[in-house]
Amino acid sequence: MRILSLFILTLFITTISCKQVERKSKNLETSHGSSKKIATNFDKNSGIINNTNSPHVKLKSINMGDCVWTDGFWAKKFKIASENMVPYMGEVLCGDVGHALNNFKIAAGLKEGEHKGMRWHDGDFYKFMEAKTYIYAQTKDEKLLKELDEYIEIIAKAQEEDGYLQTQIQLNPEVGRYNNRKYHEMYNSGHLLTSACIHFRITGQTNFLDIAIKHADLLYKNFMPEDEEMGRFGFNQTQIMGLVEMYRTTKDKKYLKLAEKFINNRGKYKVVETPTTKGYPIGDMVQERKPLRKETEAVGHAVLALYYYAGAADVAAETGEKELIDALDRLWENVTQKKMYITGALGQTHYGASTRRDKIEEGFIDEYMMPNMTAYNETCANICNSMFSYRMLGLHGQSKYADIMELVVFNSGLSGISLEGKDYYYANPLRTIDGSRDYSKMNTEFPVRQPYLNCFCCPPNLVRTIAKLSGWAYSKSKNGISVNLYGGNKLKTTLLDGSKIELTQVTQYPWKGSVEITINKCKEEPFDIMLRIPDWAIGSDVFVNNKKVNAKIREGEFTTINQTWKTGDIISINMPMEPTLVEGHTRIEEVRNQVALKRGPIVYCMESPDLPKNTKIVDVYLNSNAKLKADYKPNFLGGVTTIETDILLRKNNNNENMYKAIEKPIFDSYKTQFVPYFSWSNRGHAEMSVFVPIKWN
């Protein structure tokens, strides 16, 4: 009798459970189609941008985890990201300092309190989650996955029934949904969608993606209909990239249509202040003066602009629209050839005006107007420069885009974080002089890196880039593989025809210019290996099994070797890495008669700890006759190559009067070193300059 009772009870519980599952399935079906259908139709490719099936992409992403750093520069950085950057950031964002997770807990009803942090803080947390997911892709640390699941459970509880998820509004409901774009709802949405897609691609779980689908469906419902107020709303456009990734993941075309709709809306409506724009600059600041397809120059907030361009490149990868691609080509050229610093940094000023005289912040001003000391160069803008170029690399398959990616990640990207991975810069100037600026009046500019920034968008953006960078190292071409970035790594992937390929790359790049790539496994038929020859690598040589190749070798282009490869074949690349003097365009007034030092992809700077005590950085001159000696120092600044040289210290500079009758300069010679720009400000407070005057002899 007892056994029969237990059987009936079990049957009853099973029936109830089945009905609950059935109801859950029906709820899912009501909100965004059959859950079973979606699950079976999800795209299982796992590129950082999943352009495997994008019809208008020449170089397609490898899957995350296919390339793993093994030794050298980026392996060390990934280790620091795994052991320091991500755990420390977790302590900040999940505690009472960063408060980001607390915001979700409060919105979920799990905690009492009020919203803290900037209005875009949700997006910062999604970027942190994305970084943690990239680390998991390589380490397979189950603790990371468990922590991510805990975050997702909280976020799911915070999400409202119709998919809305914005803690800064949910905890201040009097503001109202989509009533004012200064609350950056689109920015948060974009990072939610992107992070959820990455999480699904790496883990195969749909718990985060389910949240994203509900949210994306709400965006479609609200923003797809024609409406002028809503049409002007979608600035700070990370949602375009996020929607394209949602399309690539779920294969639901409405997400791609909405992404294109957001592009089409910019520049479509009359630029006037309305209730939805109150409290935030309008016009060029948010790229709404001209339609993107008609735009000829980068304008406004640099981060907003570059996220916009990157999203448009994602749309173009799916549609192939020539007018859109032509516009992106013009903008990329304008950005990199007329408004970019030598470090790959973007956003010349904190406050200023566009060429059409709209008020702008943290962004682009006139061409070749490149101040050094007040250069803003927000870390996010620099990272976005590399993100945009990565997408253009896919569209066109040209080496020049990877040159910009590399320039950023080695210089203006890494300068945003300390060597140990726990302190941050928001702005990245090219010169600092003691007493020249009152930092007490600034909210994002500091004399030294900070353990926490109230505006916390840059740190997780940079950390997620470091964590995912191995996914940028290679791309799949029509008949082979391209080598985009150099560093010690192992690649294990499949080519587009399904054949397997395994490579090992051994190098001490960027400190040495020799790279050795060994073929460990490949198909028997001939295929291409495309090697990026950087634009600075004049006179490079390429060998296969110690025999010089017949292929064209030209700096700034890919060298393509097509042949039948076999296991054990070795490709050797030798890139000259002599220190060089670099001058700016003659229209850049601030660097006339000044030069910077560059060696390989690394930009150098002079820093006051390497000068005699009480010497000002403005008293430093380069001697054109002095020898430049590269010296690798394994125990200095985490292991870097410095450039040793004799500099000239001017003794009678005009440091007191506004103007003064000129005197013949008097110089003392001093032997010192230049250090990589990314490593500055890691030895305490310091003056610094990338460009220095030169005395020609």
Cβ-in-10-Å burial (0-12, 13-18, 19+) of 662 comes to: exposed
Residue at a domain's end among 574, 593, 627: 574
Distances in Å between the Cα of 284 and the Cα atoms of 281, 299, 302, 415 are 8, 6, 11, 28
User: Do 79 and 208 belong to one domain?
Assistant: yes
Which structural domain range is residue 522 located in? 474-574
User: What is the DSSP annotation of 409-468?
Assistant: HHTTTGGGB-TTS--B-S---SEE-TTS--GGG-SS--SS-BS--SS-SHHHHHHHHHHH
* Domain contains 301: yes
Residue environment code for 576-603, b if the CB has 16+ CB neighbours within 10 A, otherwise e: ebebeebebeeebebbeebbbbbbbbbb
Q: Do 521 and 495 touch, CB atoms closer than 8 A?
A: no
Selection from 330, 336, 474, 329 nearest residue 404 by Cα? 336
User: Do 101 and 144 belong to one domain?
Assistant: yes
Please tell me the chain's helix, strand, coil percentages from 3-state DSSP, rounded to the nearest 5. Answer: 40, 20, 40
Residue at a domain's end among 574, 596, 616: 574
Q: State the pTM of this model.
A: 0.93
For residue 634, the tally of other CB atoms under 10 A from its CB is 9
Cα distance between residue 670 and residue 668, in whole Å: 7
Cα distance between residue 653 and residue 348, in whole Å: 28
Cα distance between residue 490 and residue 463, in whole Å: 21
> What's the number of domains the chain is made of?
3
Give me the pLDDT at residue 270, please.
Answer: 93
* Domain contains 92: yes
Q: What angle, 0 to 180 degrees and rounded to 10, lies between the N-to-C axes of helices 302-319 and 322-338?
A: 150
* Domain contains 325: yes
* Domain contains 128: yes
Structure tokens at 687: 């003056």
For residue 253, the tally of other CB atoms under 10 A from its CB is 10
User: 3-class SS at 612?
Assistant: coil
Distances in Å between the Cα of 288 and the Cα atoms of 232, 271, 291, 513 are 8, 7, 7, 44
User: Do 653 and 670 belong to one domain?
Assistant: yes
List, in sequence order, every residue forming a beta bridge with 44; answer none if it has no partner: none
User: Do 633 and 687 belong to one domain?
Assistant: yes
Cα distance between residue 340 and residue 280, in whole Å: 25
Distances in Å between the Cα of 202 and the Cα atoms of 69, 468, 470, 491, 508 are 17, 12, 14, 17, 29
Structure tokens at 67: 């390339």
User: 3-class SS at 503?
Assistant: strand
Triad 432, 436, 441: Cα angle to 5°:
105
Cα distance between residue 621 and residue 602, in whole Å: 20
User: Do 485 and 601 belong to one domain?
Assistant: no
* Domain contains 534: yes
Cα distance between residue 306 and residue 346, in whole Å: 10
User: Do 97 and 238 belong to one domain?
Assistant: yes
Strand segments (E) across 227-316: 300-301
User: Do 540 and 663 belong to one domain?
Assistant: no
Cα distance between residue 533 and residue 537, in whole Å: 6
Sign of CA dihedral 85, 90, 96, 100: positive
Give me the pLDDT at residue 654, please.
Answer: 82
Cα distance between residue 386 and residue 599, in whole Å: 20
User: Do 595 and 566 belong to one domain?
Assistant: no
Structure tokens at 469: 């960078």
Distances in Å between the Cα of 589 and the Cα atoms of 585, 658, 662 are 9, 19, 20
CATH number at residue 348: 1.50.10
Triad 575, 581, 583: Cα angle to 5°:
120
* Domain contains 617: yes
Sign of CA dihedral 675, 680, 681, 682: negative
User: Do 347 and 230 belong to one domain?
Assistant: yes
Q: Do 582 and 563 touch, CB atoms closer than 8 A?
A: no
Question: What are the mean pLDDT values of the chain's consecutive 10-residue runs (697 residues total)?
Answer: 38 38 35 38 87 97 97 98 97 96 98 95 98 96 97 98 98 95 96 98 96 98 93 90 98 98 95 92 96 97 98 98 98 98 98 95 97 97 98 98 98 98 97 90 91 95 98 97 98 97 98 98 98 98 97 96 98 97 97 97 98 94 96 98 97 87 92 98 96 94
Structure tokens at 472: 């940028």
Residue with the two structure tokens 């070795």: 570
Provide φ and ψ at 54, rounded to 5°. Answer: -75, 125
Number of helices (H), then strands (E), belonging to the chain: the values are 18, 25
Structure tokens at 147: 């922590």
* Domain contains 674: yes
Spell out the SS3 assignment of 341-353: CCCCCCCCEEEEE
Cα distance between residue 497 and residue 268, in whole Å: 42
- CA 371 vs. chain centroid, Å, equals 23
Structure tokens at 629: 């000696």
Cβ-in-10-Å burial (0-12, 13-18, 19+) of 252 comes to: buried
Provide φ and ψ at 141, rounded to 5°. Answer: -75, 110
User: Do 589 and 529 belong to one domain?
Assistant: no
User: Do 456 and 360 belong to one domain?
Assistant: yes
User: Do 186 and 164 belong to one domain?
Assistant: yes
Residue with the two structure tokens 């061409």: 367
Residue at a domain's end among 541, 574, 607: 574
Q: Do 402 and 532 touch, CB atoms closer than 8 A?
A: yes
Give me the pLDDT at residue 45, please.
Answer: 86
Cis peptide preceding 510, ω within 30 of 0: yes
* Domain contains 436: no
Going by their DSSP bridges, the two strands 527-533 and 480-483 should be labelled as parallel
CATH number at residue 478: 2.60.420
Cα distance between residue 89 and residue 151, in whole Å: 14
